[in-house]
Each structure stands twice: as structure tokens, then as C-alpha cells.
């Protein structure tokens, strides 16, 4: 077993957190991850601001009490801030905010005695996370599935680790983006993180809400077959701030709009109905199957417990072996 400041502070057996994935991480997946000794989070997604979606607070209410956290897309939470009070009343293990300024919500979260987790994509956002008094910073690299920005995990994590060591040594650091097995977790720890946030690997877990047709595409794909694009959000009319783009599996829609993001922006919202209809009929030639580069490391749909145990054990083994390696012989 690997003990880190993250496992100690959150009472975990493995230094792993489930990414709070919209439309993917519901009660079943979050509970399964927490029951396996890692930190499960339900995805609060757009907090209902982009049309009907599963209510994250309802999902959290059915998780093991106090053992799961909840994540929100920060700019969407700002459109319906009452969602936060509903979540805090359920005493989540943490509130995870990503994609927007966490500072307007920090006082309410601190007053509830709930740890604030801020996912950041660059050093400017690190400043906002520190000003918000984050207990945990998640440094997310561009390899990640779903929304993200430009920096890559490998250099971003140690750069953030160095800044935290100087400026906020009690603030924990998790790495996110491209971590799907024990090699990734071990690497994250060596880069200075206290653990890893894993999305794509759990997107393909048995307990995920992911549609079977999307998983089938994902498990057949290599890491080459994802793309980061702003065209989908423009065409479906979701108001993502300009600094974020969406990493998804390539499909007919991403191929048709490759290199035409400015034009997609001019046609904002024109595909909203067609996109929604494609999702409803599980047509992943048009709707996005949302996964990161780590999809190339996922070949089976397994239970969350199997994944947590294997990733933790592989990392522990690699770290033990690494300590005895003589690199001159390799």
C-alpha cells in the first residue's frame, strides 16, 4: 500500500480520486470507488444550467455518508449557486471545483468545514486556487479527457509542486490527465503529487453511467484517436469560456470541423438540437464519446474495485523496484 499525505488526510487506502465526470460518475461509480479505498466523487456537471440532467446532490445523497465528494463546473455553478448549499448540506468528503474562479464559493465551503479541491490548468489559475484557500490543488494536463487547456501533465505537475512547497506547503497536490495505470500513478507521485485524479480509466468502468456504444468505441481506440476541440461546444451552444476545449474521441463531427473552430463559433448553437438527438439515440459518429489520451491504455470494462486495487498495487510495486534500479545497466 502507498501512504501519502492525501491517503492520510482523507482516510484512504489508495492515493487515487475519481474525476467528478458529468454524465459518468453517479452514485454507483462514486460509491464503488470509495468502497474500494479511494476517493469517489459524483459529477455535478453543469448544475442543471444547460438543461435537465441528473441532480448531483441526489446522487451524492445515495453514496456512503461522508465518504464521497462532489464536483462542479465552476462557471456553471455561478449560474445556479444554490446547488452548492444543497451539496454542502449532505456533508460531502470534498467539493471539487474546476473551470472557473473558485473564490466566490470558497467562504461557503470553508464555513461548512468541507475541504475545497481546485482543479487548475496553469499557474495563473494556481493563484486563484491559493487565494480561495484550496486544501487540494489538482494540476490537470491537456492529455485529460473532457474539458481542459494547454499545459501537459509531465511538466505542469512538478512546476506546481515546487510552487506549493514554497507558498503553501500544507496544500496537497493531485495530478490529472493521462493517468490510467500503476505506471501513471507512480510517475505522478515521483513528480511531487500526493495522488492522482483518474477520469478516462473509470469512464470505462462497469459502474460508470457511460453508454455501452460509447465504451465499445473507446475500448477499440488507441490514444492517437482523441482530439481537443472547441468546435463541439460552439456548435451545440454550450457557453464554455474560450480558454477551455474538449478532448473527445475523433468521430465524423470532429473530422468535419477540424481546423474550422472560428467558423463553428460563428455558427454557435446551430447544431444544438441535432447534437442532443444524436446523444439520445447513442449515435457516437455525431455525439462525443468523451475520453482522453489514456483511452489507449483501456482495453476492458472492469469494476472500479478491480481498477483501484490494480493501479495501487502496480504503482507500489514499481516504486519499490524503482528504488533498486541501476539505470546504467538499461
Ligand X SMILES: Cc1cc2nc3c(=O)[nH]c(=O)nc-3n(C[C@H](O)[C@H](O)[C@H](O)COP(=O)(O)O)c2cc1C
Binding site for ligand X (CB under 6 A): 19-22, 24, 43, 45, 71, 73, 98, 119, 140, 143-146, 176-179, 197-200, 203, 290-292, 294
Closest CB to ligand X among residues 235, 298: 298
Closest to ligand X by CB, 47 vs 262, is 47
Q: How far is the CB of 4 from ligand X (least distance, A)?
A: 18
* Contact between 31 and 40 (Cβ < 8 Å): yes
Nearer to ligand X, 262 or 285 (CB): 285
Q: Which three cell numbers stand for residue 257?
A: 470541423
- Which residue do the cell numbers 507521485 mark? 189
Nearer to ligand X, 67 or 147 (CB): 147
* Position with the least CB separation from ligand X: 199
Q: Which is nearer to ligand X, 240 or 270 (CB)?
A: 240
Of 20 and 69, CB closest to ligand X = 20
Closest CA to 20 of 72, 94, 80, 57: 72
State the nearest-atom distance from the C-beta of 125 to ligand X, in Å. Answer: 13
Return the SS3 of 157. Answer: helix
| Cβ burial, residue 1 (10 Å; 0-12/13-18/19+) | exposed
SS3 120: strand
Instruction: Compute the least distance from the CB of residue 141 to ligand X, in Å.
Output: 8
Tell which residue, 67, 95, 164, 75, has the closest CA to residue 123: 164
**Can you give the C-alpha Rg of the chain in angstroms?**
19
**Least distance (Å) between residue 324 CB and ligand X:** 29
**DSSP one-letter code for 39:** B
Least distance in angstroms from the C-beta of 314 to ligand X: 16
Nearer to ligand X, 73 or 235 (CB): 73
Residues with Cβ < 8 Å from 108, sequence gap 6 or more? 84, 85, 88
CA distance 311 to 330: 25
**How far is Cα 83 from Cα 67, in angstroms, rounded to an integer?**
19
Q: Give min distance, CB of 72 to ligand X, in A.
A: 7
CB of 323 to ligand X, least distance (A): 26
Amino acid at each position: 500500500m502507498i501512504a501519502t499525505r492525501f491517503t492520510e488526510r482523507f482516510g484512504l487506502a489508495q492515493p487515487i480520486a475519481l474525476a467528478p465526470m458529468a454524465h459518468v460518475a453517479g452514485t454507483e461509480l462514486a460509491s464503488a470507488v470509495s468502497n474500494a479505498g479511494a476517493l469517489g466523487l459524483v459529477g455535478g456537471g453543469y448544475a442543471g444550467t444547460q438543461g435537465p440532467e441528473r441532480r448531483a446532490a441526489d446522487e451524492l445523497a445515495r453514496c456512503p455518508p461522508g465518504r464521497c465528494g462532489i464536483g462542479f463546473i465552476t462557471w456553471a455553478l455561478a449560474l445556479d449557486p444554490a446547488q452548492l448549499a444543497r451539496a454542502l448540506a449532505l456533508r460531502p468528503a470534498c467539493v471539487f471545483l474546476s473551470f472557473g474562479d473558485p473564490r466566490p464559493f470558497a467562504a461557503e465551503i470553508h464555513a461548512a468545514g468541507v475541504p475545497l479541491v481546485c482543479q487548475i490548468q496553469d499557474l495563473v489559475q494556481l493563484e486563484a486556487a491559493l487565494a480561495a484557500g484550496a486544501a487540494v490543488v489538482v494540476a490537470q494536463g491537456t492529455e485529460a479527457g473532457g474539458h481542459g487547456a494547454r499545459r501537459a501533465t509531465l511538466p505542469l505537475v512538478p512546476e506546481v509542486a515546487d510552487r506549493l512547497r514554497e507558498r503553501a506547503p500544507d496544500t496537497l497536490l493531485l495530478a490529472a490527465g493521462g493517468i490510467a495505470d500503476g505506471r501513471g500513478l507512480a510517475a505522478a507521485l515521483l513528480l511531487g503529487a500526493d495522488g492522482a485524479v483518474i477520469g478516462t480509466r473509470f469512464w470505462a468502468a462497469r459502474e460508470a453511467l457511460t453508454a455501452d456504444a460509447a465504451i465499445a468505441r473507446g475500448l477499440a481506440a488507441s490514444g492517437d484517436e482523441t482530439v481537443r476541440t472547441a468546435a463541439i461546444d460552439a456548435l451545440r451552444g454550450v457557453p464554455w469560456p474560450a480558454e477551455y476545449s474538449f478532448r473527445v474521441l475523433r468521430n465524423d463531427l470532429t473530422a468535419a470541423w477540424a481546423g474550422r473552430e472560428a467558423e463553428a463559433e460563428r455558427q454557435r448553437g446551430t447544431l444544438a438540437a441535432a447534437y442532443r438527438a444524436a446523444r439520445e439515440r447513442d449515435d457516437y459518429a455525431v455525439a462525443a464519446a468523451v475520453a482522453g489520451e489514456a483511452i489507449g491504455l483501456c482495453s476492458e470494462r472492469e469494476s472500479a474495485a478491480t481498477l483501484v486495487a490494480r493501479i495501487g498495487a502496480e504503482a507500489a510495486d514499481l516504486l519499490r523496484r524503482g528504488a533498486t534500479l541501476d539505470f546504467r545497466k538499461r
